[in-house]
Amino acid sequence: MSQTLNSVSSERKKRILVVDDTVLFRELMQALLEKEGFEVLTANDGLEAIQKVKHELPHLDLVLLDLLLPQMTGFEVLKQIRAGKMGESLAVLVITGVFKKASQIEQIKTLGATGYMTKDLKPEEIIRRIKSTLGMEPVVGEEAKPILERAKKEAKRVLEKFDRIKLLSSSEVFSGLAPAQLEKVSKNFQEITLDKDKVIFKEGEEGDSLYIIGQGSVRVVKTGEGKEEEVIAILESGMSFGEMALVQKEQRSATIITNEPSILLKMGKDAFEKILESDKEIALIIYKNFVQLLANRLRKTSETLTFSKVLLEELRKK
């Protein structure tokens, strides 16, 4: 019998241990993985994780491991798994919502992680990475081919128009503007349509434009110390990127690539500055929004410092 995309290509179900102290996340991951045909175990802290790994080996195929755990950190769990002979070859994917920088990812891998995922990835991307880690390739059965053909045709169709004003009103940069003000701002955007896997800009390039996703999605890619690329986030319709290039001269911190056929709104720095100069009321609201954006960046920097402190302690123990 042929297998569908959602079936697991194996004589037995692959067993995955999900380790996270958030009940909702554990339940969501368990439901997602079981739907894909995996057998799922869970642990809510580091100590329970170690106990289950010891009990389940060698019939455990993968551990999805959060790093910030009670009782015992994910770092310590990873070290203990790698310290035992039976756990040397056990696949361990770190999955967290805090630590996302390429340098952090490289450092995590030095501690023994097989790979890394962020919690904001789409479910299908999480499944793809898990299957890739386990050496599984989805088999397309005959019954699935018509579905794939329809999907291909759908991807090629002309994307429908979207409401610019509604899109801008939900943007972090332009939220709070009145409809008439949004209409004025809207006229300064260029609409661009891109196919799947088109590079919008590359890491290290000088930035000069803001982008808002009207339809579709993009992936954010960072290059690690080993020159390998890592997808650190997926941005979807309504989300924006490149904002800081409008207010300060800096290089792009990541590469952005379309994940599917997409429509983007693009505003260059010159157009942005003309808006601010022509309407002081709009300028005031936008400046306030940028203050909030900078505050969010500072919070993320604080999270990065927390990571660095914990990681340094773990590296010193090695």
What are 255's two structure tokens?
A: 């590469």
The pLDDT assigned to 265 comes to 94
Whole-number pLDDT of residue 3 = 44
Low pLDDT (below 50) residues in the chain: 1-10, 139-144, 147, 151, 155-159, 304, 308, 315
Every domain of the chain with CATH number 3.40.50.2300 lies at 15-142
> 282 with 276: CB under 8 angstroms?
yes
What are the backbone angles phi and psi of residue 15, rounded to the nearest 5°?
-105, 130
Tens of pLDDT, residues 132-168: 888 885 544 444 455 455 545 554 443 456 788 888 9
For tokens 């170690």, what's the residue?
A: 50
Encoding tokens for residue 245?
Answer: 């290039």
For residue 246, the number of C-alpha atoms closer than 13 Å in the C-beta half-sphere is: 26
C-beta separation of 141 from 3 below 8 A: yes
**CATH code that applies to domain 158-302:** 2.60.120.10
Other residues' Cβ atoms within 10 Å of the Cβ of residue 221: 18
According to CATH, the topology of domain 15-142 is: Rossmann fold (3.40.50)
Positions of CATH 2.60.120.10 in the chain: 158-302
Give the full edge-to-edge strand order of the sheet including 255-258.
199-201, 255-258, 217-223, 229-236
Q: Describe the strand order of the beta sheet including 190-194 as a list of residue ranges.
A: 190-194, 262-268, 209-215, 240-241
Which residue shows structure tokens 């642990």?
A: 43
Q: What is the DSSP string of 146-213?
A: HHHHHHHHHHHSPPPP--HHHHHHTSTTTTT--HHHHHHHHTTPEEEEE-TT-EEE-TTSBP-EEEEE
